[in-house]
Structure 1
Amino acid sequence: MTTNKTISCVVVDDEPLALKLMADYVQKTPFFELKEQTTNPMKAIELVQQGTVDLLFLDIQMPELTGLQLMKIIGHKCKVILTTAYPDYALDGYEFDVIDYLLKPVTFDRFLVAAHKARERLAAEPVIVVQTPTVTATPASYIFVKTEYKIQKIDLADILYMEGLRDYVAIYTTTGKILTLQSMKSFQEQLPDSHFMRVHKSYLVALDKIQFIERNRIVIAGNYIPVGETYQEQFQQRLNIKG
């Protein structure tokens, strides 16, 4: 059984040459669509969480986050084909029900074998038909944040506010403070704007955690957060404040 559906693919590899090779293979395959090629595993996690990735070509040996660790984070949100120069990892990969295991250097004919396996596997999965004219995807209720020593999961409901400092962002939650080198802009793009808002070049707040507002300052958990001049009008409109 096969399908005419285009399969959305993301390639993740910390080696630029290997990344380019796999991306080229994906683009040469008629039923594949290359959504992204990246050396950043955090970017791959973000894309998978959005629910638009069908297939991940994933290198196992990466310095920041191994392929096996990444698979534990994403669970079963998409299918995975592993790539590596080390055959010893094959058994570990199959414990995650990966579609195939490609040993580097990967030839195009071997890549196509894996590609057709992926096509068959995805076609065999049940298709859920929703009888509504429009379907809105439910946003994830959590994010993953890279700290100095680990990748940490944070529930959105626990976030109070974020403060952009010189070299990192401090995330203040109901359980404590978390420091990350990720940018404030990346969080602004990742967090749902229905619950979070940038109110200052250095601050992003959870709207439902605001206790009160005093003289263009927001108070959350007893902490005063300034509302920047360029953000004041938008902030007032958002909260439907008049006068």
Structure 2
Amino acid sequence: MIKAVIIDDEPKAIELLQGYIDKVPFISCSNSFRNPIEALVYLEEYTVDLIFLDINMPQLSGMSLLKTLKNPPEIILTTAYSEYAVESYEYKVTDYLLKPIAFDRFLKAVLKLKGIDNTEKKSKNPKDTIFIKSGHQQYKINPSDILYLQKDGNYITYYTSNKTILARQSTKEALEILGDRFVQIHKSTIVNLDHITSFDTTSVIINTTKLSIGQSYKVTLMNILTTEK
């Protein structure tokens, strides 16, 4: 899961980006700031993977803030002014989004970052195994063996080819421990991309199980599936 923060002095701009982030299963918004100084204080204490950074802000511009960061994470600049584009690429930013930002353009930018946390996850867990708590038991499992997950109330069920594991967990918590091959396709369903045998615009098939695609997840999922190599 890519942890992002939003820095923008316009409340409506923050609200728009937060709404877009909520539609993308591999990104979460850790915090948002209208005051860039408060954002700098936060970034000194917490590590994030991505910053959505407005350029024109009072007190401290986005470009000035970028210059103060010693080890900046991935940066996606957001602005209503195109004249900053040349300067922005001197800082090797990931992308440059012109306001008003359309969702398809936002999605194109964040898809560049899909999987940026893979190296860290693999170094922490070189055997590619995770532990899932079910009741008083801890089950050791290889994520590649998981076919899909389905949420029901406060519980989520992990389906593999030979067993199921019931855990008290949210979809967000599940995505945080799984790798980038897992995507949410419905408010109650997460799938392993490697086990999808076929799909259309309304559902995916894993082995013989048909799983519905939620309307708000359709664009993101179709972009991922159609760019798979």
TM-score relative to the length of structure 1: 0.48
2:44 & 2:23 partners in 1: Cα distance? 26
Is the contact made by 1:51 and 1:77 (CA closer than 8 Å) also made in structure 2? no
Q: Displacement, 1:63?
A: 1.2
Is the contact made by 2:2 and 2:117 (CA closer than 8 Å) also made in structure 1? no
1:39 maps onto 2:18 in alignment: no
One-letter identity of the residue aligned with 1:118: L
One-letter identity of the residue aligned with 1:76: N
1:63/1:97 Cα in 2 relative to 1: closer, same or farther (>3 Å)?
same
Could you list the runs of 4 or more consecutive aligned residues of structure 1 that deviate by over 4 angstroms after TM superposition? 123-128
2:86 & 2:112 partners in 1: Cα distance? 18
Measured on the aligned residues, the alpha-carbon RMSD in Å equals 2.1
Aligned counterpart, 1:115: 110
SS of equivalent residue, structure 2 residue 53: strand
Is the contact made by 2:18 and 2:29 (CA closer than 8 Å) also made in structure 1? yes
Aligned counterpart, 1:75: 70
Aligned counterpart, 2:91: 96
Largest Rg, 1 or 2 = 1
Q: Displacement, 1:34?
A: 0.7
Per-residue CA distance 1:130-163 (angstroms, 9 max, x = gap): 79xxxxxxxxxxxxxxxxxxxxxxxxxxxxxxxx
Q: Which has the higher contact order (CA 8 A, sep 6+)?
A: 2
Identity of aligned residues (%): 42
Where does the alignment leave 5 or more consecutive residues of structure 2 unmatched? 126-229
Return the match for 2:57 from 52, 56, 62: 62
Pairs within 5 Å for 1:74-223: 74-119=69-114, 122=116, 129=123
Is the contact made by 1:47 and 1:53 (CA closer than 8 Å) also made in structure 2? no
Is the contact made by 2:22 and 2:28 (CA closer than 8 Å) also made in structure 1? yes
Q: Displacement, 1:57?
A: 0.1
TM-score relative to the length of structure 2: 0.50
One-letter identity of the residue aligned with 1:63: P
Where does the alignment leave 5 or more consecutive residues of structure 1 unmatched? 1-5, 132-243
Aligned counterpart, 1:22: 17
Number of aligned residue pairs: give it: 125
Q: Displacement, 1:75?
A: 3.0
1:94/1:118 Cα in 2 relative to 1: closer, same or farther (>3 Å)?
same
Q: Displacement, 1:46?
A: 1.9
